[in-house]
Amino acid sequence: MASVEFEAERGKGKDMKTISENRAYGGVQGVYSHTSEACGCDMTFGLFLPEEAETQPVPVIWYLSGLTCTHENAMVKAGAQKWAAEAGVGIVFPDTSPRGAGVADDPAYDVGQGAGFYVNATEAPWAANFRMWDYVTDELPRILFNAFPVEEARQSIMGHSMGGHGALTIGMSFPGRYRSVSAFAPIAHPTACDWGRKPFAAYLGPDESKWAAYDATLLMRKRGFDGPILIDQGAADPYLDTLMPEKLAEAMMARRQNGAFRMQKGYDHSYFFVSTFIEDHIGFHAAALYD
């Protein structure tokens, strides 16, 4: 794998720093930081590259995490590296929000640092930093494809909870970019639930027409996704009423969306749930990426 320092010498990733690189399943799990123009602060992300990346570019899966998480939660808890290594794909783990002493925050867990919701905030004090949509869809991809051996032409995206919301909305908003989309227990209809209405009002203001671009159920009704979708939802999830998975399932059915929506009996919202089915999701994306 080409190191960040080596790429910097070639004029790529000039301000990027290597926080750590660890051998894992024949590949390398790295953690890197850089100065973000989109978020106006330093940002950290994780990137797993399989052994194949030492000799050739590999497809990449984006994993977006949920409320209160950093880049580290899924990287450490999901167990994705084993299956990514077997499939020969990379996985990038972005952070969930801007961070730092100068970044606006809130005592609540669902607004502020750790709760970026993958939107571009327009309201004070959030607009100065909370531009996670631009960060995940524009800035970080440019950095990634310039500095590491990953293929821009072969990308997929997935996420958990708030990150599932992000993966679905981003996937549907960029036709042709992602080969497949999957989600674990996504916030499926945020314009109609407390986990969406409160942060959307804070970040985007009171005009609810501006919220629709960030609602997976509304986007599914309007345009759908131009590839396969896989959704896993725990049937014992304590947040089912808030997540509103039935609304997304209804929209997928009405649109005849290519995909599967699975209710997993006895499973909750935790990373025990995610790690149980991560093999299925990596395999699902690998099939699309190597199609």
Domains (ranges, CATH) in the chain? 16-290 (3.40.50.1820)
Question: Active site residue: 36, 65, 97, 161, which one?
Answer: 161
Q: Please check the confidence at residue 2 and state whether its pLDDT lies above 60.
A: no
The pair of structure tokens assigned to 240 is 């089912």
Percentage of the residues of the chain whose pLDDT score is greater than 70: 95
SS3 sequence of 161-207? CHHHHHHHHHHHHCCCCEEEEEEECCCCCHHHCHHHHHHHHHHHCCC
Q: Please check the confidence at residue 272 and state whether its pLDDT lies above 90.
A: yes
Q: Please check the confidence at residue 1 and state whether its pLDDT lies above 50.
A: no
DSSP class of residue 136 equals I
pLDDT in tens, 235-255: 999 999 999 999 999 999 999
Residue at token pair 């961070």: 99
pLDDT at 51: 98
pLDDT at 195: 94
pLDDT in tens, 275-288: 999 999 999 999 99
Q: Please check the confidence at residue 181 and state whether its pLDDT lies above 70.
A: yes
Active-site residue flag, 36: no
Q: Please check the confidence at residue 3 and state whether its pLDDT lies above 80.
A: no
The pair of structure tokens assigned to 171 is 């996937």
Confidence of residue 160 (pLDDT cuts 50, 70, 90): very high
Question: Active site residue: 34, 71, 237, 281, which one?
Answer: 237
Give the residue among 74, 189, 65 at the shortest CA–CA distance from 117: 65
Q: Please check the confidence at residue 10 and state whether its pLDDT lies above 70.
A: no
DSSP class of residue 255 equals H
Active-site residue flag, 161: yes
CA atoms within 13 A of residue 106's CA, in its CB half-sphere: 18
Query: Whole-model pTM?
Result: 0.95
The region, left, alpha or beta by phi > 0 then psi within -120 to 50, assigned to residue 145 is alpha
Mean pLDDT of all residues belonging to the chain: 95
Confidence of residue 21 (pLDDT cuts 50, 70, 90): very high
DSSP class of residue 79 equals -
- Give mean pLDDT, residues 139-165: 98
Question: Active site residue: 160, 189, 269, 281, which one?
Answer: 269
pLDDT at 7: 42
- How far, in Å, CA of 280 to CA of 276, rounded? 9
Confidence of residue 230 (pLDDT cuts 50, 70, 90): very high
pLDDT in tens, 51-79: 999 999 999 999 999 999 999 999 999 99
The pair of structure tokens assigned to 217 is 């159920």
pLDDT at 14: 57
pLDDT at 15: 86
pLDDT at 196: 97
Active-site residue flag, 280: no
Q: Is the peptide bond before 125 cis (omega within 30 degrees of 0)?
A: yes
